[in-house]
Amino acid sequence: MQLLVVGATGGTGRQAVEQALQRGYFVTAFVRDPTKLPIKHTNLTVQTGDVLKPNTLLHAVRRQDAVFCALGSRPGQHDEAVADGTRNLITAMRQVGVRRLLIVSSLGVGTSYEEASLPSKLFIKTFLSGVIAEKEKQEKTVRQSNLDWVIARPTRLTNGPATGHYQLGEHLPFPLFSVPKISRADVAAFLLDQLDKDHYLGKAVTITGK
């Protein structure tokens, strides 16, 4: 398996790199600043580039079997690189014939907002409003891509270990005052599991810890 991880220096992206290497995959980490990825492995290639520069993406996507996209922005920031970068990534994938695309999105996007708990809705509408707006545009681009995609919408992310115990579904309502969480490690593991499975193709699923 040849896997490209875009956004590899973020928390979930780094988990994807580490776990994919543990599974024996050949991994290309696409990063703007290679000094932020302190992982060393014989099966790891670190490629410096920018998702807003299509030529650098095209070179990275060539000869890959699949792409794991963990692009994100910080709360309070409006970063158009998430949606525009994903659009460039999809264009590159089409050009070279790579079809499997795994996306890290967020609770609060699409119908998942209505199913979120009250604390989550308040957080989404305040601190995460810019992040969610960008993720909405990203998901729309992915849905229109005609690629083989899976979108994961995690609840509040933590740096805990992978447990293998989580709930997921296209519709996953939460108790009114709950504060659901899931580790970045579990999100990465779920999406990596979809590299050779078709059950969630073309679906956006909410994922949270048990």
Amino acid at residue number 149: W
| Those residues with Cβ within 8 angstroms of residue 168's Cβ, 6 or more apart along the chain or in another chain | 152, 190, 205, 206, 207, 208
What integer pLDDT is reported at residue 80 of this predicted model? 76
| Those residues with Cβ within 8 angstroms of residue 102's Cβ, 6 or more apart along the chain or in another chain | 66, 67, 68, 69, 149, 150, 152, 191, 192, 194, 195
- Strand locations in 80-132 (E): 100-104
| Contact yes or no for 76/39 (Cβ under 8 A) | no
- The residues of the chain scoring below 50 in pLDDT are none
What residues does each domain of the chain span? 2-209
pLDDT in tens, 111-151: 999 999 999 999 999 989 999 999 999 999 999 999 999 99
What integer pLDDT is reported at residue 64 of this predicted model? 98
pLDDT in tens, 146-171: 999 999 999 999 999 999 999 999 99
* Residue with the two structure tokens 């490690």: 185
Instruction: Output the CA–CA distances (angstroms, integers) from residue 144 to 124, 134, 141, 163, in the order listed.
Output: 25, 16, 5, 33
Q: What is the domain class of 2-209 according to CATH? A: alpha beta
What integer pLDDT is reported at residue 73 of this predicted model? 80
Query: What pTM was computed for the model?
Result: 0.95
